[in-house]
Amino acid sequence: MHSPRSLLVTGGAGFIGANFVRYFLDAHPEARIANLDSLTYAGSLDNLRGALDDPRHTFIHGDIANGPLVLSLMRSHHVDTVVHFAAESHVDRSIDGPATFVHTNVLGTFVLLEAAREVWGGLTLASAGSGDGSVRFHQVSTDEVYGSLNDDDPPFTERTPYAPNSPYSASKAAADHLVRAYAHTYGLPITITNCSNNYGPLQHPEKFIPTVIAACLAERPIPVYGTGRNIRDWLHVRDHCTAIDTVLRRGAPGGTYLVGADNERRNIELTRIICRLLDELRPRAAGSYEELISFVTDRAGHDFRYAIDAGKLTAELGWKPDIEFETGLRETIEWYVRRATANAAE
C-alpha cells in the first residue's frame, strides 16, 4: 500500500491533469501537490480555479524537459509520488509536427525518470512497496500504443503487444518503455495506466466531443472523419481520476493496468447522440443539429477501433467506472453550453 502525501503532477493544467488535481485535493485533505505545466495551447490556469487558492497546491510554470528545474522541485517539495500526465496528445498535430511530441513525451519522461532515480536512489521494488515512506512514479498512458482493432477483435489487455501507428502513439509507447526499463534496470517503483478516450469538463476544443458541441452551438458543419464508423471506448475523466488514485495506492509496483468503461461507440453514433441531447437542451430554431453533420477527408493512418478490457484493474484492485455514459455526456454538454453562454456575455 502506497500513501501519496507530496505529489509532483506534470501537465496539471491540462484536461485530465487539472481534473485529477482538483479531484485529489478534494479526496485527500492530507496531500500536497506541486503542479508543473508549461502552459502550452492545451493548458490553462482557468482549469485550476479553486485549486490555485488552496495552500496545499503549488503551481510551477515550466518544462518537464528542464532537468535542473525538475530535480529542484523533487527535492524542495520532498516528492514521494510523481503522476505524469504532461504530454502532447493530439494525433493530427503529431502528423504535422512530430518533433514536439518526441521532445515532450520522450525526452520529458526521461528527464523525470532521471530526477526520480537521483532523489529516490537506492530503493528496490520490495522496499518501495513496504508502506510508510514509500515512493511511486506513475505513468499516465493511452490505449493508442496498442494500435488498431478490427470490428471482431477482442479488446486490448495488458498482454497486447505494442503497435503504435501515429507519431503521437509512438512517442507515448517510447515513454512507457522507458518507464518499464527504469523499473527493471534501476528498481524504480513505477506503475502505468493505459486509458481509453476521455471526455468531460475542461477538455480542449480541438478534441472530438468539444468539436461536435462547438459546431452545433455555432451552427457550423460538424466535421466527422471518413464515414464516421471508427470506434472508441469513452471514459469519463472523473472515473479516470479514481482509477489512477486506486492504482497509486494499491497497484503492484511495476504493474500496468488498463482503464476503460466498456463503452464503445462509433464516431457517427456519438455525434448523433450529442445532437439529440442538444436538440433537447438547446433546440435549434429549425430542425435538428444532425442536419449539420458533414463528412470530411479521413485522417492519415486513422486507427479504426480502440477497445479496453479493464478486467485486471477490477479483479485485482476493485475499481470500476461509476458514471453512466449518457448521464456523463449530458452533464458534459451542459458544462460546455454554460461556458459558451458565459463567454458570449463577456
Query: Is residue 46 flagged as an active site residue?
Result: no
Task: Provide the residue ranges of all domains of the chain, joining segments of one domain with +.
Answer: 6-199+235-263+307-322
Count how many residues are written for the chain. Answer: 346
pLDDT over threshold 50, residue 302: yes
178: helix, strand or coil = helix
Residue pair 103/61 in contact by the 8 Å Cβ criterion:
no
Look up the pTM and report it.
0.94
Looking at the chain, the whole-number percentage of residues with pLDDT higher than 70 is: 96
Least confident of 77-86, 242-251, 293-302: 293-302
Q: How many separate helices (H) and strands (E) can be counted in the chain?
A: 12, 12
The mean pLDDT of 263-286, rounded to a whole number, is: 96
The candidate with the shortest Cα–Cα distance to 248, out of 20, 72, 12, 93, is 20
Q: Which of the residues 63, 80, 143, 245 is marked catalytic?
A: 143
In this predicted structure, what is the pLDDT of residue 92?
A: 74
Q: Which of the residues 168, 182, 257, 336 is marked catalytic?
A: 168
The candidate with the shortest Cα–Cα distance to 293, out of 318, 273, 272, 308, is 272
Residue pair 176/258 in contact by the 8 Å Cβ criterion:
no
Residue pair 216/292 in contact by the 8 Å Cβ criterion:
yes
- Which amino acid is residue 161, in one-letter code? P
Query: Is residue 143 flagged as an active site residue?
Result: yes
Rg (CA), the chain: 20
CATH 3.40.50.2300 fits 6-199+235-263+307-322, yes or no: no
Query: Is residue 324 flagged as an active site residue?
Result: no
In this predicted structure, what is the pLDDT of residue 77?
A: 97
232: helix, strand or coil = strand
198: helix, strand or coil = strand
pLDDT tens string 318-328: 999 999 999 99
Q: Which of the residues 37, 63, 80, 144 is marked catalytic?
A: 144
HSE of 195, CA atoms in CB hemisphere, 13 A: 25
In this predicted structure, what is the pLDDT of residue 346?
A: 67
Name the one residue in this structure whose C-alpha cell is 475499481: 319
Rounded to 5°, the CA angle 38-42-48 comes to: 75
